[in-house]
């Protein structure tokens, strides 16, 4: 090998230990016995798995039409049945390794087979057990390479080499292994935090006995706790001193105070809104600035209003605290509306209130509580007597409900039925002739 290029010599330096080990296995009677034990363990595990898997499948599979936490847990456990064969092979191989080491004093071949079965289990786990796309991607490019290196016996050497490789950024020094460990742990913690937040949000929103504002506050508090704990745990895994994080947090606090005042104000305002519960998702509100609509979403920074025509208006939370807000539908309370009309001066106006109140009261959406329809005399106009009927309904008179139009139809039909005229404007024009000129 002395006359070969450097690259060939380096490659041979890597391959030579494996070639020497393979020759030793092929020429050793103990190695052949270990190969036989590996084959025996595999076929024994395969036989046991073929007999055991149908029974386990039948026991774990829940009855059709059932639901609940136990059913979800059983369905989750059922996904791990494909791992039965490699796990059994690993366990039987571990027993064979103990027997081989006690007889021959070595068990390198069977230990390699045991690690190979573990790699097979990892491969099946990634391909058949994992259903989440992110976890499957992480398993394909992280778990499988690690399991392969472990099976080949190279994991410890590569880990030690990565620990020795140090990256320096100013006064901060960390190893490549710590960086890789942090990236993997950060990815897993981010996924776990997102999944936990999604599950807790679904659970909290199903608690109908809580006020909507209380549910939103619980959702936000849970989100902060989950991702805050994930961040602190990640810092601990990466070996970063939390004292430095506290100093960094103080610097960020100063930056927020100087340059991000509006964002901080909106965040605090959002917490106040959720705590007070005066406005919540589903309420129809109108602000001093003219924005009005139904609150469809409340975030840490702003509230989203949906108008009658389907547009979304994003209103910063601070506006709900510093300006006047009219809430038309606080927790589904009733709202009062008014419909104006006029009748002729020839009408017996004493009969009008009873006629209109009866007609409006027959409409299915008009409430009797807190008060029924109330028709009042408003004044005497130039051409007609002015009336208005007040009525209560549940909800807002918007594009979906349209309370005003049916009420006006009912007023019109009732007046026509009783022969009451709704007059046109009248104008009396007096024409004065000029006096004949004297001496004409």
Q: Same domain, yes or no, for 202 and 316?
A: no
Instruction: Check residue 291 and give its pLDDT.
Output: 82
Residue 269 resides in a domain: no
Q: Same domain, yes or no, for 204 and 318?
A: no
Q: Which of the pair, 402 or 420, is modelled with greater confidence?
A: 420
Instruction: Check residue 356 and give its pLDDT.
Output: 94
pLDDT tier at 407 (50, 70, 90 boundaries)? very high
Instruction: Check residue 419 and give its pLDDT.
Output: 92
Residue 347 resides in a domain: yes
Q: Same domain, yes or no, for 71 and 143?
A: yes
Instruction: Check residue 251 and give its pLDDT.
Output: 60
Predicted confidence (pLDDT) per residue in 209-253, tens digit: 776 666 777 777 787 788 778 877 777 776 666 665 566 566 666
Instruction: Check residue 24 and give its pLDDT.
Output: 54
Backbone φ and ψ for 137, nearest 5 degrees, come out as -65, -40
Instruction: Check residue 255 and give its pLDDT.
Output: 61
HEC string of 277-293 equals CCCCCCCEEEECCCCEE
Predicted confidence (pLDDT) per residue in 156-176, tens digit: 888 888 888 877 766 667 778
Q: Same domain, yes or no, for 142 and 239?
A: no
Q: Same domain, yes or no, for 254 and 317?
A: no
Instruction: Check residue 171 and give its pLDDT.
Output: 62
Q: Same domain, yes or no, for 342 and 320?
A: no
Instruction: Check residue 413 and give its pLDDT.
Output: 94
Residue 423 resides in a domain: no
Q: Same domain, yes or no, for 10 and 63?
A: yes
Peptide bond into 362 cis (omega under 30): no
> Does the pLDDT of residue 27 top 80, yes or no?
no
Mean pLDDT score across all residues of the chain: 79
Give the residue among 283, 282, 269 at the shortest CA–CA distance from 323: 269
> Does the pLDDT of residue 133 top 70, yes or no?
yes
Predicted confidence (pLDDT) per residue in 347-373, tens digit: 999 999 999 999 999 999 999 888 899
Cα 323 to chain centroid, rounded: 30
Residue 169 resides in a domain: no
Instruction: Check residue 366 and give its pLDDT.
Output: 92
Domain, as residue range, for 389: 333-417
CATH at 413: 3.30.70.100
Q: Which of the pair, 19 or 162, is modelled with greater confidence?
A: 162
- Give, in degrees to the nearest 5, the angle at Cα 175 between 169 and 179: 90
- In total, the chain counts a number of residues equal to 440
Using only the alpha carbons of the chain, give its radius of gyration: 40
pLDDT tier at 342 (50, 70, 90 boundaries)? very high
- Give the E-state strand segments of 190-333 in sequence order: 284-287, 292-298, 302-306, 312-316, 325-327
Residue owning tokens 């996904």: 79
> Does the pLDDT of residue 3 top 70, yes or no?
no
Instruction: Check residue 17 and give its pLDDT.
Output: 57
Q: Same domain, yes or no, for 253 and 302?
A: no
Both tokens of residue 325? 């807000």
Q: Which of the pair, 108 or 302, is modelled with greater confidence?
A: 302
Which of these ranges, 70-84, 199-213, 391-405, has the smallest mean pLDDT? Answer: 199-213
pLDDT above 70 coverage of the chain, percent: 80
Both tokens of residue 163? 């620990």
Predicted confidence (pLDDT) per residue in 276-289, tens digit: 777 778 888 888 88
Residue 167 resides in a domain: no
Predicted confidence (pLDDT) per residue in 381-406, tens digit: 888 999 999 999 987 777 666 788 99
Residue 212 resides in a domain: yes
Instruction: Check residue 361 and give its pLDDT.
Output: 93
Instruction: Check residue 240 and give its pLDDT.
Output: 64
Instruction: Check residue 415 and give its pLDDT.
Output: 94
> Does the pLDDT of residue 29 top 90, yes or no?
no
> Does the pLDDT of residue 310 top 60, yes or no?
yes
Q: Same domain, yes or no, for 139 and 36?
A: yes
pLDDT above 90 coverage of the chain, percent: 14
Q: Using an 8 Å Cβ cutoff, are 342 and 387 in contact?
A: yes
Number of domains in the chain: 4
Q: Same domain, yes or no, for 350 and 323?
A: no
Give the residue among 124, 113, 199 at the shortest CA–CA distance from 151: 113
Q: Same domain, yes or no, for 24 and 147?
A: yes
pLDDT tier at 338 (50, 70, 90 boundaries)? very high
Q: Whole-model pTM?
A: 0.51
Q: Same domain, yes or no, for 35 and 148?
A: yes
Residue 337 resides in a domain: yes
Average pLDDT for residues 245-268, to the nearest whole number? 66
Residue 37 resides in a domain: yes
> Does the pLDDT of residue 13 top 60, yes or no?
no
């Amino acid at each position: 090998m002395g006359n070969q290029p450097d690259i060939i010599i380096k490659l041979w330096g890597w391959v030579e230990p494996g070639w020497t080990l393979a020759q030793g296995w092929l020429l050793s009677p103990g190695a052949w016995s270990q190969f036989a034990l590996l084959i025996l363990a595999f076929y024994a595990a395969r036989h046991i798995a073929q007999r055991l898997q149908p029974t386990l499948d039948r026991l774990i599979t829940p009855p059709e039409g059932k639901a609940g936490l136990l059913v979800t847990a059983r369905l989750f456990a059922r996904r791990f049945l494909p791992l039965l064969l490699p796990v059994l092979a690993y366990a039987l191989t571990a027993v064979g390794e103990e027997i081989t080491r006690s007889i021959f004093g070595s068990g390198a071949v069977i230990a390699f087979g045991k690690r190979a079965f573990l790699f097979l289990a990892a491969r099946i786990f990634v391909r058949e057990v994992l259903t989440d796309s992110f976890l499957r991607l992480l398993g394909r490019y992280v778990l499988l390479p690690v399991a392969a290196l472990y099976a080949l016996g190279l994991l410890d050497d590569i880990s030690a080499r990565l620990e020795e490789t140090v990256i320096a950024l100013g006064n901060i020094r960390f190893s490549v292994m710590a960086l890789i460990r942090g990236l993997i742990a950060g990815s897993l913690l981010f996924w776990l935090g997102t999944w936990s937040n999604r599950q807790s949000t679904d659970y909290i929103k199903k608690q109908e006995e809580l006020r909507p504002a209380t549910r939103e506050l619980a959702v936000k508090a849970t989100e902060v706790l989950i991702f805050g704990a994930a961040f602190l745990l990640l810092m601990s895994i990466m070996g970063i001193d939390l004292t430095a994080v506290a100093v960094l947090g103080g610097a960020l606090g100063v930056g927020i105070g100087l340059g991000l005042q509006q964002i901080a104000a909106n965040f605090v305002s959002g917490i106040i809104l959720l705590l007070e519960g005066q406005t919540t998702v589903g309420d129809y509100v109108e602000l001093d600035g003219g924005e009005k609509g139904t609150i469809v979403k409340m975030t840490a920074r702003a509230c989203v209003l949906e108008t009658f025509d389907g547009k979304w208006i994003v209103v910063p939370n601070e506006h709900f605290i510093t300006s006047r807000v009219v809430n038309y539908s606080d927790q589904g309370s009733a709202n009062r509306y008014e419909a104006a009309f006029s009748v002729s001066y020839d009408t017996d106006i004493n009969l009008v209130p009873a006629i209109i109140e009866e007609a409006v009261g027959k409409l299915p959406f008009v409430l009797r509580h807190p008060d029924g329809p109330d028709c009042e005399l408003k004044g005497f106009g130039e051409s007609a007597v002015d009336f208005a009927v007040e009525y209560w309904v549940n909800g807002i008179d918007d594009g979906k409900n349209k309370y005003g139009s049916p009420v006006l139809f009912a007023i019109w039909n009732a007046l026509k039925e009783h022969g009451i005229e709704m007059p046109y404007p009248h104008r009396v024009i007096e024409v004065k002739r000029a006096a004949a000129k004297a001496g004409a």
